Amino acid sequence: MHNYTTFSGKEVSDHVYRNLKERVELLLKNNIQPGLAAILVGENPASKIYINMKTKKFHSLGMKTQTFKLSIDCSQTDLIQVIENINNDSSFHGILVQLPLPNHIDSNSIINSIRPEKDVDGFHPVNAGLLSIGTPRFIPCTPKGIMKILEYYKVNLSGKHVVVLGRSNIVGRPMSILTSLKTKGANSTTTICHSGSSNIEKFTKIADIVIVALGAPNYLTKDMIKKDAILIDVGINRVNDNSEKGYKLCGDVFWEEVIEKAKAVTPVPGGVGPMTIAMLVENTVEAAENTLK
């Protein structure tokens, strides 16, 4: 039987929260309670679950969080007005607009209206630019969480070949920048593949680390990887089955297959997911700490 390691995001996020507790306590001593405003437009069930999980975690650490709910048919102007009010409210250090937004609202205009110092998602062009030149202010939560998993399990990317599948501004693009930056634990050769790439397996077969963020269930099979590759699975897909719930959650990596060949894999659920929330908490703490500087 081939031995593989499960890279547990649950374990790494618990480690992160233990370290954050001291930082939050220090801020509270300075009369600063780190605060996050979450904005939810409409009734997306997945977004609601995410916001509930986040709210519990913030409260357990003694941090402040409030969710601003707007109806699905609210105007773009209404949403920008809510953001403006929070931009000017010093009790909130971070602003999170839950994506995806309804089609009649332009996501870029919304992201641009968040003050960069409060953009804890790291999506504002100013923050994306700072990351791309290697001096990040806020690193997007999922890529930052993946780097933390690799660091925790002592995977040094220097000199390694990383293949990133997906080029979204939320995961793939910032991930490709982070892995290739000349920083401790990074410094890899990075290839980014996407829907326009032909013969993706030509690249995945020679990768030391594959990071998959396509949203395609069980996409990465064992034939597509080399022996002892490390696989980071960002996908979370609902696949219908005959269970009581009527569906199961699976990632973009064909788990049952790849464990025969891979050195390490992140599970779904319990892998990258918990890290995304942990990094949102960490970025909010950083935003509060920045007000002391």
Q: Can you read off the two tokens belonging to residue 176?
A: 């490709």
In a domain, 293, yes or no: no
In a domain, 269, yes or no: yes
Question: What's the chain's average pLDDT?
Answer: 96
pLDDT at position 154 is: 98
Residue 257 clears pLDDT 80, i.e. is over it: yes
pLDDT at position 47 is: 87
In a domain, 132, yes or no: no
Q: Per-residue DSSP letters for 157-195?
A: -TT-EEEEE---TTTHHHHHHHHHSSSTT---EEEEE-T
Look up 76 and say whether it is catalytic. no
Residue 1 clears pLDDT 80, i.e. is over it: no
* pLDDT tier for residue 17 given thresholds of 50, 70 and 90: very high
Residue 181 clears pLDDT 90, i.e. is over it: yes
Residues whose CB falls within 8 Å of the CB of residue 27, separated by 6 or more in sequence, listed in order: 33, 34, 285, 288, 289, 292
Active-site hit among 98, 119, 208, 261: 98
Residue 250 clears pLDDT 70, i.e. is over it: yes
Residues whose CB falls within 8 Å of the CB of residue 278, separated by 6 or more in sequence, listed in order: 12, 13, 16, 17, 57, 145, 148
Question: How far is Cα 25 from Cα 228, in angstroms, rounded to an integer?
Answer: 42
Active-site hit among 118, 119, 121, 148: 121
**What confidence tens digit (pLDDT) does each residue in 149-164 have?**
999 999 999 999 999 9
**What confidence tens digit (pLDDT) does each residue in 101-145 have?**
999 999 999 999 999 999 999 999 999 999 999 999 999 999 999
In a domain, 203, yes or no: yes
In a domain, 205, yes or no: yes
Residues whose CB falls within 8 Å of the CB of residue 121, separated by 6 or more in sequence, listed in order: 96, 97, 111, 138, 140, 141, 280, 283
Mean per-residue pLDDT, 19-40: 97
Look up 54 and say whether it is catalytic. yes
pLDDT at position 46 is: 83
Which carries the bigger pLDDT value, residue 70 or residue 245? 70
Query: Same domain for 112 and 145?
Result: no
Kindly report the backbone phi and psi dihedral angles of residue 58, in degrees, each rounded to the nearest multiple of 5, phi listed first: -60, -45
pTM: 0.96
Query: Same domain for 147 and 102?
Result: no
CB 161 within 8 Å of CB 208 = yes
Q: Which residues pair with 237 in a beta bridge?
A: 250
CATH number of the domain residue 222 falls in:
3.40.50.720
Domain range enclosing 185 = 140-273
Nearest-CA neighbor of 210 among 161, 269, 250?
161
Question: How far is Cα 39 from Cα 229, in angstroms, rounded to an integer?
Answer: 39
Residue 44 clears pLDDT 90, i.e. is over it: no
